[in-house]
Amino acid sequence: MKPARVAALATLLLLVVSPAAAFTVRDMLGREVTLAAPPQRIVSLVPSVTEIVFALGGEARLVGRTDFCDYPAAAQATPSVGGMVNPNLETLVTLKPDLVFATDEGNREDTVRQLARLRIPVYLVHANRVAETLDLITRVGAMTERQAEVPRVSGEMLRRIEAVRKAVAPFPRRRVLYVLWPDPLIVPGRESMLTELIEIAGGASITATDGEAYPRFSLEAAVARAPEVIILADHSTGASTAGRSAPDKWKRLTSVPAVQAGRLYSADLSILHRYGPRVPDGIEMLARFIHPEAFR
């Protein structure tokens, strides 16, 4: 965005935002975020945060979202500011937010800088573990003044996660290859939440010690590690959690134990890659792929 346009937007924002600051909080990256009062008008650039806001019953304060904030269905009634990578800042300003939730993994640094120039407080979130997801829920609860609902949401999540742990505990861990993207092959590494979710679901990711969050990987290396289960992230809209036809590329890997055993699955990307209330849904899905015998 051109400097002149940023300046014009900043001027517009000053007409609707009080400059007086009442308190300062720290976001998940340790940045100080100064607010005049508990935020009443929130724009979420993070689908996970949008889901959390609705789960806590704080949706009355949500005045803007991205096109990717599609769950729950009621969220789609909230005005959109466009995509996560390139949100429309002019539209965002007209929503008169007093806080924007963003993430260091899905939003551009330039977007955060532009919002800072516009004097719009930005709260950055970051979650690569289940514990960090629960922390995020607590933080969103505090920012939306829905703290009383946090134990209900977090407690139900923990109950379901523990139920999966118990269900798969009697069975040996199966080697799992999770494919986020097929070409180039991108997989979950040691810093990805998927690695932890697979472990909870009774599997052992064959790429758990590689790279950081989502490293590139070679198909040859994947075949050499003999995965017993292969799960392909489905990027299509409204993806089902199982039963989609796997590409022939994978079916031809007849030397791989997963293909021999018929354990080749497609999984809904929107469930497995959001760190919010549906994390147990993702764990349950993975567990049924890895150990269907535990749920008969």
Cβ–Cβ < 8 Å for 176, 196:
no
pLDDT at 251: 86
pLDDT at 6: 44
Each domain of the chain, given as residue ranges in start order, spans 3-145, 171-295
| Beta strand segments in the chain, E | 23-26, 32-35, 42-44, 62-64, 99-103, 122-125, 174-179, 181-182, 185-186, 203-205, 229-234, 264-268
Q: Token pair for residue 193?
A: 């939440």
The amino acid sitting at 79 is P
As a whole number of angstroms, the distance between CA 250 and CA 231 comes to 10
pLDDT at 8: 45
171-295 under CATH 2.60.40.10, yes or no: no
Q: Token pair for residue 4?
A: 């002149």
As a whole number of angstroms, the distance between CA 64 and CA 79 comes to 5
DSSP code at position 149? G
10 Å Cβ neighbour count for 61? Answer: 18
Q: Token pair for residue 261?
A: 């055993």
pLDDT at 182: 86
Residue with token string 């049924």: 288
Chain-centroid distance of CA 5 in Å reads: 31
List CB contacts of 105: < 8 A, sequence separation 6 or more.
126, 213
For the chain (296 residues), the mean pLDDT of every run of 10, in chain order, is: 48 43 86 94 97 98 96 96 94 96 92 94 96 98 97 98 97 96 90 95 94 88 95 68 57 92 92 94 97 92
List CB contacts of 2: < 8 A, sequence separation 6 or more.
none
Determine if the pTM surpasses 0.85: yes
Please tell me the class of the 3-145 domain.
Answer: alpha beta
pLDDT at 262: 93
pLDDT at 1: 53
